[in-house]
Structure 1
Amino acid sequence: YFPPPAAKEDFLGCLVKEIPPRLLYAKSSPAYPSVLGQTIRNSRWSSPDNVKPLYIITPTNVSHIQSAVVCGRRHTVRIRVRSGGHDYEGLSYRSLQPETFAVVDLNKMRAVWVDGKARTAWVDSGAQLGELYYAIYKASPTLAFPAGVCPTIGVGGNFAGGGFGMLLRKYGIAAENVIDVKLVDANGKLHDKKSMGDDHFWAVRGGGGESFGIVVAWQVKLLPVPPTVTIFKISKTVSEGAVDIINKWQVVAPQLPADLMIRIIAQGPKATFEAMYLGTCKTLTPLMSSKFPELGMNPSHCNEMSWIQSIPFVHLGHRDALEDDLLNRNNSFKPFAEYKSDYVYQPFPKTVWEQILNTWLVKPGAGIMIFDPYGATISATPESATPFPHRKGVLFNIQYVNYWFAPGAAAAPLSWSKDIYNYMEPYVSKNPRQAYANYRDIDLGRNEVVNDVSTYASGKVWGQKYFKGNFERLAITKGKVDPTDYFRNEQSIPPLIKKY
């Protein structure tokens, strides 16, 4: 029997016993707006009508996180966790319904320890991908890690939901290359892979953030890359034959050798073919001539560089300011944004590509479409090996991205996103129509809470789209490690308690 805590020992009173006050920000604190806003990447979620946290906690060590959980449990204050702030729906720092919650912001926990000899690294969840990549490069220019493309993404969220970038065809997703974690559970206890057990460890590597506890740090295996990689970016307009070239790309790109990734960014009536090849121009040119001559790639398109230089070059188009580009934490690009995703198993009819490039991408409010080819390693891993299920048979992933830059300009972009998503339905995956957990989309469904617990039936609606057949195992695992659903948001895994 636990006696009820004295009324005056409120949540804040509990926190200040264990956490220095300088690491705590109440809504009334002058610094609260800037601390909250620092990593809000989508300006839609910074408006006053969003439900904001009661407190922000910025821990500098694990014990602070444990204390936050213990105090939160005691005083019925839920905790959401933010690493880089790139959650597309902002659920790491806002609630869709009125709720008493605090945010544990991992911004101050961003250390990276690299062991070049063992080819492993430990990285804190609050680190940005660019900081991880840079630390790996400092230890060895011929080691790498296969996570996201954008350097400002937080490690915690990216790894938790899967994490893929230009190395996905060679080395798969970030989560499948995680070999250990440090995690604070719903009781405030610290675990590693050994103490948490197989199901829990499986779940945190791709089952999405928030649901299974707070992963403080990840141990990853580092993977070899050659001293020289080759990047090309070749743009083709509709009048230059873009439709025919993409029509061929959708069949060729998933079949290429694992060392070659060619993604497409389509904007307006133009498609840009962005490639990374783990090797030199001299080897890439004949490979392209034999496998994909339609693109017309030749040595003048080659940009040879080290793997670390490819990170800013792919993302930003230059490679001469590594530290600035990879270690910058002051990202000022904060558009209003809407995102959706799809998976494709059957080649599109050519008429669909014509519609996309000639009609959809030139409509008012049109966004960008990014096509990432699968095949090779990412598709060879069994669906149940990690919660990330988009494997065998996937030709490519689509990300629909739409930006606007004034609060009143949302109507056309939002309408375009909804309409193109509806148009694509016959041509993409079915039963369920799949989506990538890290491209979070609240339109896919949201949890209903009954008796203070998210229901399995409501979670299954969106959960099977992200996780397919793995959703049930995730929910059973949630039922074991957090049966009262302490760690939750509108799209967290609900607990499924098996009755035996």
Structure 2
Amino acid sequence: MDQKEWFPFLLAFLISLPWKITTSALPSEKFLHCLSLRSQNSSSIAELVFTQQNSTYSFVLKSTAKNSRFTTPSTPTPLAIITPMQVSHVQATVSCCRKLGLQLRFRSGGHDFEGLSYTTAYKVPFVVIDLVNLRSVQVNVEKATAWVESGATIGELYYEIARRSRTLAFPAGVGHTVGLGGHLSGGGEGLLLRKFGLAADNVIDARLVDVDGRNLDRKSMGEELFWAIRGGGGGSFGIVLAWELKLVSVPANLTSCSVTKTLEQNATKLVHQWLSIGHKLPKEVHMNVRISRIRTSEDEKKMTIQASFGSVFLGKIDEFVPLMENKFPELDLTKEDCLESSWAESILYSNGFPVGIPLETLLDRNRIPATFFKAKSDSVKQSIPATAFEGLWPKFFEEEAKTASMTLTAYGGKMDEIPETETPNPHRAGNLYNIIYVVTWEQKENKNPKKFMSWMRRVHSFMTPFVSKSPREAYVNYRDLEIGANEIDNDEDSYEQAKIWGVKYFKNNFDRLVHVKTIVDPGNFFRHEQSIPPLSRLLKKRVNRSSLDKN
């Protein structure tokens, strides 16, 4: 008998015998009993709950977990996974977790770099809300807006927009399997950020379930909480179930280009030159450089470094090639390096998919398999000297770096015009580039993951002189617990602990986030290893509840 058959009977049994749910009952039993009492239709919600006794539990838990570091046998797992179909299911789960003292994690796509949306290092009982069933996308072409639920992926949003219009887009990321809930909660970088800013800059409303189970929109939650959820990181303020997005206008056809250069083709010099150019290009140009190690075609045993220059231009090839000939002639970009396509098609090409692949590929949530990886990020505020890259290349020739990469994304443009206090994400004017470093490894190599983690730390340490300082900034959507983490049972010192990592993600916006947290969740129910803490009891007396809407 599978879960759908036996679980309704279990809930009915629990309801009929409430006196049997005593203090000696297992936490999972107490949770199921509580959930049954708060559900109008126990058999309906039964189909949405997966416990460790269910044969499909492991599949559901791992189905969207993209970092295999957090799906090993030693990884803490939840008492139950709830896959809600409606707001009341979320409200019931929040209520029961609060009543029973269970921690709550919630995920929209499973791409959290440190697994914080579906596991915990605290070794405490917890429940996961998986928003996979809350994934509707409603596009209004006339108003150029869209309501999208948090469980939808970026690809599902892009597909629905493209199905309705060739000249509308949304400035989110290129990872089509990434869940929108987490992406928007952290800011959301994408191919259009130099023209339209971050994804979170283009959110105009939201619906959130707060710690008291209320279903709030922008008006009822207030402007301060609305500010906090658009870039303050997920898991701190409530569960955002849906977002209203402002869509942007793009040409019916735009240009995507790719040029690769190796060390033997002056890659070092070209990367260094690009650093003084990329952030100054017109807003319509997005450029990044991905650095990795490859085998040379002449000798399969010989390795070299390859720099891949990727670009997307909101215009035609005949406009872009002359522009690059003028701004960056050393790259030697030609028409043959470029392709004209719709905006949605450019997303697929940016992910390395072949020309002509159907747009329905954007709907495939499982297209990108899970892997073991560790990542870190940096902000760059001044050009990096060529000698720095010459010193970096030997690290990419080390054994652990066979599938490692380093990607630099140009800022400037619209990002220079948006104040760093506009949303919690402060990486605006003065930031020339964002860097993400990634090292991956296979299952058979996971017997000794420390060597890959060590490689990442060495690279990150080497880059210290060339990136932002005081603080050394990081991007919250590229979570990194090595820059700091909260302790589970130390609320009195939680602010000082969190500030270590908080100022790196949010700079001066961190204190404002703490202020909001203190008002909306003073008991710190929504928490994880890098959640925003409330002020301690001694400090929060200074916070005026009425100040929420003044800023």
TM-score interval (norm. to shorter): over 0.9
Amino acid at match of 1:243: T
Kept in 2: contact 1:379–1:390 (CA 8 A): no
Kept in 2: contact 1:454–1:494 (CA 8 A): no
Q: What displacement does 1:409 show?
A: 4.8
Partner of residue 12, structure 1: 32
Between 177-186 and 75-84, the greater mean CA deviation after superposition = 75-84
Alignment RMSD: 1.4
Q: Structure 2 CA distance, aligned partners of 1:341 and 1:239?
A: 28
Partner of residue 100, structure 1: 125
Max radius of gyration: which structure? 2
Among 493, 504, 508, the alignment partner of 1:469 is 508
Give me the TM-score of the superposition, normalised by structure 2: 0.88
Among 11, 22, 39, the alignment partner of 2:47 is 22
Q: What displacement does 1:61 show?
A: 0.8
Residues 1:88 and 2:102 are matched in the alignment = no
Among 186, 211, 230, the alignment partner of 2:236 is 211
Q: What displacement does 1:78 show?
A: 1.9
Amino acid at match of 1:97: Y
Give me the TM-score of the superposition, normalised by structure 1: 0.97
Q: Structure 1 CA distance, aligned partners of 2:234 and 2:311?
A: 30
Partner of residue 298, structure 2: none
Residues 1:327 and 2:363 are matched in the alignment = yes
Amino acid at match of 1:477: V
Q: Structure 1 CA distance, aligned partners of 2:32 and 2:201?
A: 38
Kept in 2: contact 1:159–1:174 (CA 8 A): yes
Kept in 1: contact 2:373–2:439 (CA 8 A): yes
Q: Structure 2 CA distance, aligned partners of 1:415 and 1:78?
A: 31
Q: Structure 2 CA distance, aligned partners of 1:214 and 1:319?
A: 38
Amino acid at match of 1:14: C
Partner of residue 460, structure 2: 421
Map 1:216-231 to 2 at 5 A: 216-231=241-256
Q: Structure 2 CA distance, aligned partners of 1:311 and 1:332?
A: 14
Q: Structure 2 CA distance, aligned partners of 1:81 and 1:322?
A: 31
Q: Secondary structure at the match of 1:123?
A: strand
Q: Structure 2 CA distance, aligned partners of 1:284 and 1:42?
A: 37
Q: Structure 2 CA distance, aligned partners of 1:322 and 1:382?
A: 39
Q: Structure 1 CA distance, aligned partners of 2:281 and 2:490?
A: 51
Q: What displacement does 1:322 show?
A: 3.1
Partner of residue 369, structure 1: 406
Q: Structure 2 CA distance, aligned partners of 1:48 and 1:450?
A: 25
Residues 1:131 and 2:151 are matched in the alignment = no
Q: Secondary structure at the match of 1:456?
A: helix
Residues 1:402 and 2:439 are matched in the alignment = yes
**CA deviation map 1:311-350 (0-9, x unaligned):** 1110123242334420002245111100000000011111
Runs of 4+ in 1 over 3 A off after TM superposition: 449-454
User: How many residues in Structure 1 have an aligned counterpart in Structure 2?
Assistant: 495
Residues 1:158 and 2:195 are matched in the alignment = no
Amino acid at match of 1:93: Y
Q: What displacement does 1:471 show?
A: 0.3
Amino acid at match of 1:127: A
Kept in 2: contact 1:454–1:495 (CA 8 A): no
Q: Structure 1 CA distance, aligned partners of 2:526 and 2:453?
A: 30
Amino acid at match of 1:421: H
Residues 1:316 and 2:352 are matched in the alignment = yes
Among 275, 279, 284, the alignment partner of 2:311 is 275
**CA deviation map 1:267-303 (0-9, x unaligned):** 0211000000000000001100111111001111111
Partner of residue 334, structure 2: 298
Kept in 2: contact 1:225–1:278 (CA 8 A): yes
Among 456, 460, 484, the alignment partner of 2:523 is 484
Q: What displacement does 1:7 show?
A: 6.9
**CA deviation map 1:168-210 (0-9, x unaligned):** 1111101110000000001111000000011100000000000
Q: Secondary structure at the match of 2:451?
A: helix
